[in-house]
Every structure is written in C-alpha cells, then in structure tokens.
Amino acid sequence: MSEANTPQAGQALVDDERIKQISPLRKALIRPELGGMCGTVIVFFLFFIFAGDSGMFNAQGVMNWSTVSAQFALIAVGACLLMIAGEFDLSIGSMIGFAGMMIAIFGVTLGWPMWAAILVTFVLCTAIGGISGYIVVRTGLPSFIVTLAFLFILRGFTIFLPQMLERKTIIGGIRDAAEGDWLAPMFGGKILTGLFQWMGDAGIIATFERGNKMGQPVVEGIPMLIVWALFMIFLGHFILTRTQFGNWIFAAGGDAESARNSGVPVNKVKILMFMFTAFSAAVFAACQVMEFGSAGADRGLLKEFEAIIAVVIGGALLTGGYGSVIGAALGALIFGVVQQGLFFAGVESSLFRVFLGVILLFAVILNTYIRRIITGER
C-alpha cells in the first residue's frame, strides 16, 4: 500500500511532473506476447539465412516443423492456463505416456471398441488431473510437489501395467484396432486432403517422383494434431480473454486470497485448470497413438519441461496471474522451429540443449523487462 505513486486522487497520472512520458508506439507494442513475437521474427529470420536452402521452407519442411510446434502448442495451452491460474503441472509428460498406454490397453489388450477406449481414457485422465488439483487446493501444498508425486506415480503405472498385462513395454496394433472406428480419425486423420491433392496436381507443391505414391503430393493433408492445436489455442485464448471464467483464471493466479474474498470460486477454477491440462495431455496422447499406432512406456518423457518452457518463452509468469495463450503458442512455435531448424541447419544435435538453455534465459529476461513496464511492478 505504501508503494504509492505521486499523483493524488483528482489528478491524472499523465499530468504528473514526476513521471516521464511513454511514447504511444511503445505503449501499443507492450503486450505480454511481445517477447514471443520478437522471438518468432528473430528465429525465422535466422533460419531463413542459415537453413533457407535445406528444404526447411518447402511444403514438406513447413509441415514438419508445424507438426512439431503443434505438438508443443497442444500441451503448452493447458500448461499456460494452469500457470496463469497460479499452479503448475510436472506430470504432463507422464500423463501423455499414461494416456497413450491406457488407450492401447483398453483398445488392444482388452479389445474394446476404439471410441470407447478413447472416451474412457479421456475421462480417466481428466479425473486424475482433477485429483491432483483437489489435493493441491485442499492441502495448500505447492503444486510442484504434488505433481512431482504424480509424475512418478503415473510413469510407474505406465511401465508396470503393460508389463503385467502383455509382458512388454510397448503395445502396438492400435491402427488396426482403430480401423473403421468413428472417433479415431478425429485424432489420427488428416483433413483437406483434396485441397493438397489439387495443389499437387497444379504443381503448387511438390509431388512424389517414384514409388507407389507417385504423383501424389508430398504433403497429403493437414494432420488432426495441427487442427487440435489450433482449436485449443483458439479455445484457450477465447476463454482467457473473453469470458468471465477467464477473468477468474487471472484472479486465481494473481492472488488467490483476494480473489476468494471478491467472490471468485478459486478452488473450482484451479481444479478445472488441472483437469484441462490433463485433457490436453490426453489429446496429445490420442493424436500420437492414432498417428503412430503404438503406445510406449517412454512416451512423453520430459514433455512437462517443454510445455513449461514454451509457456515461459511466451511471456507467462511462473508465479501466476499473468500471461497469454497466444504467447504460449508463439513459444511453442519458436521451440518447434528451433528444434527442427537445427536439424535442417545440420547443427551438432547435442548442442541443441545448449541452444535451448540459452534461448530460455534470454527469453525470460526479455519478458521480465516487458512485464515490468506493463504492470508497473518493481
């Protein structure tokens, strides 16, 4: 309360002789996602120069890093909303592995119809997310610890269950089991195949030159993964900025006690966000198993860090109450482009981590600077 600004009630801030003016241009630019935007521009610029002729920007290359970015974006959206609501989730990666394994166990080992396997898995995962959320809000423990526990518990089951049931840690045959199912193509299919075929025929994009797909375009269509990612980004952004619930998310993360006193159902908001994060992990897993046809015990390792990194690069505040879904999506894009771009540019792959660490550091420093300007924090 004492961090009072000079101006007294009754005087506009802008009239204050003790505060220097901020130019309108600078004001217009200063948004949570500014760091992400700058980063995106820089990253694309660099790779245009260093990997422009490596196929990174032909149809196939674009589809490649788009898919990877979409993967990151899918989980980043969940992690972003959760982080804005003041919590975070270290069990995202384990949840991805677990969800995929559950679909495989229900759909292949137990032989349920695929749609039932998928739906039950979604319900199960969302419920587990709800449980960790419930533990966090009831005990007041830091979510770091609670979700760390779930990281181990879920990964443990993901390794244990298939070993017990099938005596191996990978379960295949999901594509066959999903044959003719109505729900499976929602995750594993591709859309706009007609358009791409036409583009191939018209010579806009390259076509295969030999083999049994000769004449078909190199990019068949847009994978559902990308569609889901776009949908989730849109949904998350819409909820966050346009709805009452979005205001509650900000409030819950900004100061839970104050929000509660003002009538925001903070616990409900936090638990729902944990569930949403688990849901996005399940979507990720469903897309993955449907595309690749198998579930493995090692799927999703370290994805929680990747999600958190994308969100933080995108300008969200680790301690909650501040951030943007668009920013997180840009963070995911940067992450995806850098990761695949380094391959295209032929950089020694073990150096990827070094780059990642350095980018992360610079991004947060930039974002902190931007945030301080916006919020007047000191």
Partner 1 sequence: EGEKYILVSHAPDSDSWWNTIKNGIALAGDQMGVEVEYRNPPTGDLADMARIIEQAAASGPNGIITTLADFDVLSGPIRSAVDQGINVIIMNSGTPEQVREVGALMFVGQPEYDAGLAAGLRAKGDGVESFVCVNHVISNTVVGERCRGFADGLGVDLGGQMIDSGQDPAEIKNRVMAYLNANPDTDAVLTLGPTSADPTILALEEMGLAGDIYFGTFDLGDEIVKGIKSGTIQWGIDQQPFLQAYLPVVVLTNYDRFGVLPGNNINSGPGFVTKDALGKVEEFAGKYR
Partner 2 sequence: MNPEKAPIIQMRNIEKHFGSVIALAGVSVDVFPGECHCLLGDNGAGKSTFIKTMSGVHKPTKGEIMFEGTSMHFADPRDAISAGIATVHQHLAMIPLMSVSRNFFMGNEPIKNLGPLKLFDHDYANRVTMEEMKKMGINLRGPDQAVGTLSGGERQTVAIARAVHFGAKVLILDEPTSALGVRQTANVLATVDRVRKQGIAVVFITHNVRHAMAVGDRFTVLNRGKTLGTAQRGQITPEELQDLMAGGQELVALEGSLGGTV
For position 303 contacting a second copy by CB under 8 A, the verdict is no
287/120 Cα distance (integer angstroms): 15
The one of ligand ATP, a second copy, partner 1, none whose footprint includes residue 209, by CB under 5 to 8 A per kind, is: partner 1
Nearer to Mg ion, 2 or 21 (CB): 2
Site string for a second copy, 310-349 (x = CB under 8 A): --x-----xx----------------------------x-
For position 141 contacting a second copy by CB under 8 A, the verdict is yes
CB of 288 vs partner 1, minimal distance in Å: 5
Task: Say if residues 35 and 363 touch (Cβ distance below 8 Å).
Answer: yes
Beta bridge partners of 170: 296
The one of partner 2, Mg ion, partner 1, none whose footprint includes residue 142, by CB under 5 to 8 A per kind, is: none
Q: Which long-range contacts (CB under 8 A, 24 or more apart) does 242-251 make?
A: 245/269, 249/81, 249/84, 249/85, 249/273, 250/84, 250/321, 250/322, 251/321
The one of a second copy, partner 2, Mg ion, none whose footprint includes residue 139, by CB under 5 to 8 A per kind, is: a second copy
304/300 Cα distance (integer angstroms): 8
Reference 47, options 365, 359, 367, 369; nearest CA is: 359
Site for partner 2 in 260-319 (CB under 8 A): 260-265, 317
Residue 181: other Cβ atoms inside 10 A? 18
Cα within 13 Å of Cα(34), Cβ side: 17
For position 257 contacting partner 2 by CB under 8 A, the verdict is yes
State the number of binding residues for Mg ion (CB under 5 A). Answer: 1
243/238 Cα distance (integer angstroms): 7
Task: Say if residues 331 and 312 touch (Cβ distance below 8 Å).
Answer: yes
Residue 174: partners with Cβ closer than 8 Å, 6 or more residues away: 103, 104, 107, 108, 114, 289, 290, 293, 294, 295
The one of partner 2, partner 1, Mg ion, none whose footprint includes residue 277, by CB under 5 to 8 A per kind, is: none
For position 2 contacting Mg ion by CB under 5 A, the verdict is yes
Both tokens of 307, joined, read 């999600």
CB of 101 vs a second copy, minimal distance in Å: 12
Nearer to partner 1, 91 or 340 (CB): 340
Site for a second copy in 162-181 (CB under 8 A): 163-164
Q: Where on the chain is the footprint of partner 2 (CB under 8 A)? A: 1-14, 18-20, 22, 242-248, 250-251, 254-255, 257-265, 317, 321-322, 374-378
| List of residues contacting a second copy (CB under 8 A) | 135, 139-142, 144-146, 148-153, 155-157, 159-160, 163-164, 305, 308-309, 312, 318-319, 348, 350-358, 360-361, 364-365, 368
